[in-house]
Amino acid sequence: MILQPAILALLVSSFLVSLMLLYAGWYGVLILKNWDLASGSDLQLNLEKRTYLISVVLGYALVFQIFSLFLYIFTADSLHTQFVGAMCAAGSLNVNHYGYPTLLLKIANCLLSGVWLIINFADNRGYDYPLIKAKYSLLMILAPLVVLEALLQFGYFKGLHADVITSCCGSLFSAGKRSVGADLAGLPAIPMEWIFFGVMAATLISGVVFCFKEWGGYFFSAASLSTFIISAASLVSFICLYIYELPTHHCPFCILQKEYGYIGYALYATLLGGGITGLGVGALMPFKKIASLVQVVPLIQRRLTWLSMLFYLLFTILVASKMLFTSFRL
Amino acid sequence: MSSFINRHRNIIDFALSSLLRRKIKNISLLGVYTLIIFVLASLIFFVHALRREAALILKNAPDMVVQRLMAGRHELIPVDYGQKISSIRGVQDVVPRLWGYYFDPAIGSNYTVMVPRDNMVQPDNIIIGTGVARVRKASVRDLIAFQAYDKTPLLLMIQQILPYESELVAADLILMSEQDFQSMFNLPKGYATDLAVSVANPRELVTVATKIAEQFPDTRPILKSEILRTYDSVFDWRGGMMIVIMSAAILSFIIFAWDKATGLSAEERKEIGILKSIGWETSDVLFLKFWEGIVISLSAFLCGVLLAYGHVFFFSATIFEHALKGWSILYPQFRLVPAIDAFQLTVLFALSVLPYTVATIVPAWLAASADPDAAMRS
């Protein structure tokens, strides 16, 4: 294991987030088993009070989660100098089998935490805790995933051993060792460009239809999830090529560096924002008919849809401007 | 939207006045918090600046150094190895290097003695680093007496003192001619300390190094990238070790913060009780506590980071330098170039503000969820 301040910071933050989620999860189990709004028992009153705590805990956990996602990429990037063949985070994450699964799980957990907060927001608008069971059921999925992520992350960092010079041997690390894969292989660029713009257009159109006609909420949500996945694949496949102006460099992490004007942050923030709000629309669909939420849910859904479209539109504008205003052509 | 902003503005207003009402308690918390952040930030900035400095220095190092090993130890290398190595395809240049260490009993420190490449030093002359000039209180045209290998005295005149900019690398450096080097150390003829190899295409470095290691099994080629990697991991390790050692202090601070947050005074309890009885909801009180935490954390973070910046970049990290730089009699005196990026601030944030926030969530909720009548009666 490499003892670096950033690694310690990540381990500490994952440990704390897991602890918070386990704490919230424990009360989640109690709520799922014993919740009875009609009862005035001590337990019920206590649980009602606890729901505030759990909302706060999860709010913080989501912020920490997003924070740790970027810190993780940053740390992986700063570690690349210590491994033969690694040029940036893409290489360091390849050093052992835990690197990429941890990253994917971190992204998934960010999305799920966002959806949880949206459901929680809607629930707080109803006077009778209408979504209490739904949100704590989602917590039952989220908590184990966050704990799994912390374990995978620990596995990743534990398995890192820097290729340093040792005084006892004359062997050359660089020659004897398997070099880590320095880059990612992307899907073919030209078809991906068509798919990316096609899916983005479909999402935006379905969003407008949903806002004005109140029809196709599930479709919009599914489309925005597909857009999220396809945009992430497009980042690796062709968007990065335009940013680096290199036909071979597919790394989705170097765009976070100063050399590229930190454009990666804008891209990832809009992508995550679009994904979370788009998924939130679908997550609220089953609750439209609940009496205490009849007025609230459609309003929240419309706002989420606009937000999601705004995020995706910004993402598309960023991508398109990069593609248009560079002399690089594929 | 504006009602949302107004609501939070009012809560922040209340939070600030409530913090000011309990000055002593909050200033003591802020003081300890700032101290923790100051120590952590100094450490992180210092390690990062040293890493950066090492990388800058090594920029001009040779692509590859070939050393000879005997019985697992560094040995002198025959110069004719260099001729054979230069015939390997891709090798641009091989330069035998002569360097060693000289212990000066007068001041009890070691100098690095080296023969420069381009005969820039005349026989009987030396060029010295500023550190050597400082400890020997010498200036240009002064004579310095050395002891040769056979204890005979060797008098050399200072031709030049290296400029201050090179202090970090050259504080303890003495450059002399090959002839004086020989009379000082009596190296066997036809041997060098090691060989500096340059390769035209950096992508071929590994292949060339492999060929050298195969043709001369008693040698050890070391690439510049490997030296950089080793430096990086050494500095990382030192920084990490210091944080592990300091974790006890961080933990104590968290316990302190937890204690401060849970130990509400009767007056504070009453205050929350009154707020709730006049219509504040639990979530409003939670927001109040949230903003109080933000104010304390950001103030401490800002003060701690500013103090650490001054400590590391203006006072050369006086508190940590001995632990992190290693030990030596002849320390280079240098001012680190200020270099801070978002990464270090994020790490610092995760190590300090995050645990503090987690420690105060439950106490904040306990305070916010108390029943108004019970709170007022207590």
Taking the CA of residue A288 and the nearest CA in chain B, the distance in Å comes to 24
Domain locations along chain B: 2-58+230-377, 65-222
Residues A206 and A123 in one domain: no
- For CA atoms A78, A155, B238, B319, give the dihedral sign: positive
* Contact residues, chain A, for B213 at CB < 8 Å: 170-172, 175
pLDDT the model gives residue B1 = 67
Nearest-5° Cα angle at B167, B163 to B170:
90
Residues A168 and A206 in one domain: no
Mean pLDDT, each 10-residue run in order, chain A (330 residues): 87 92 91 87 87 87 87 88 80 87 93 92 87 91 95 93 59 48 66 92 94 88 94 89 85 84 90 94 91 89 95 95 85
State the DSSP string of A85-147: T--SHHHHTTSSTTHHHHHHHHHHHHHHHHHHHHHHHHHHHSTT-TTHHHHHHHHHHHHHHHH
Residues A24 and A139 in one domain: yes
pLDDT the model gives residue A170 = 40
Distance of CA A299 to the CA centre of its chain: 25
CB neighbours of B120 closer than 8 A, spacing ≥ 6?
Answer: B127, B175
**Ramachandran region, residue B61 (left: φ > 0; alpha: ψ -120 to 50; beta: rest):** beta
Residues A150 and A19 in one domain: yes
pLDDT tens digit sequence for B70-88:
888 889 999 999 999 999 9
pLDDT tens digit sequence for B178-204:
999 998 999 888 999 999 999 988 888
**Which of B296, B377, B375, B305 is closest to B341 using CA atoms?**
B305
- Boundary residue ending a domain (A129, A148, A176): A176
Does the pLDDT at position B342 exceed 90?
no
Residues A205 and A291 in one domain: yes
Q: How many domains does chain A have?
A: 2
ipTM reported for the complex, 2 dp: 0.83
Contact of A20 with chain B, judged by CB distance below 8 Å, is answered with: yes
Amino acid letter at B176? M
Residues A225 and A286 in one domain: yes
- Mean pLDDT across the stretch B62-68? 90
Q: How far apart are CA B169 and CA B172, in angstroms?
A: 8
Residues A320 and A242 in one domain: yes
Q: Which fold has domain B65-222?
A: Barwin-like endoglucanases (2.40.40)
CB neighbours of B164 closer than 8 A, spacing ≥ 6?
Answer: B130
Contact of B219 with chain A, judged by CB distance below 8 Å, is answered with: yes
pLDDT the model gives residue B224 = 86
Strands B153-161 and B125-128: parallel
CB contact under 8 A, A172 and B210: yes
Distances (CA, A) of B166 to A156, B125, B131, B161: 40, 20, 10, 10
Where in the sequence is the domain holding A119, given as residue range(s)?
5-176
pLDDT tens digit sequence for B10-29:
999 999 998 898 888 899 99
Does the pLDDT at position B116 exceed 70?
yes
Does the pLDDT at position B331 exceed 70?
no
pLDDT the model gives residue B49 = 86
Residues A16 and A136 in one domain: yes
CB contact under 8 A, A168 and B72: yes
Residues A79 and A170 in one domain: yes
Residues A152 and A245 in one domain: no
Residue predicted with more confidence, B229 or B306: B306
CB neighbours of B278 closer than 8 A, spacing ≥ 6?
Answer: none
Contact of B259 with chain A, judged by CB distance below 8 Å, is answered with: no
| From A268-277, B272-281, B291-300, the region with the lowest mean pLDDT | B272-281
- For CA atoms A46, A49, A50, A51, give the dihedral sign: positive
pLDDT the model gives residue A169 = 39
- Mean pLDDT across the stretch B331-345? 79
* Contact residues, chain A, for B77 at CB < 8 Å: none
DSSP E strand boundaries for B85-139: 91-97, 99-104, 109-114, 125-128
Residues A163 and A71 in one domain: yes
Residue of chain A whose alpha carbon sits nearest to that of B228: A81
Residue predicted with more confidence, B335 or B186: B186
Residues in chain B: 378
Q: How far apart are CA A85 and CA A91, in angstroms?
A: 7
Nearest Cβ partner for B210 among A6, A7, A175: A175
* Residue B95 backbone dihedrals phi, psi, to 5 degrees: -120, 120
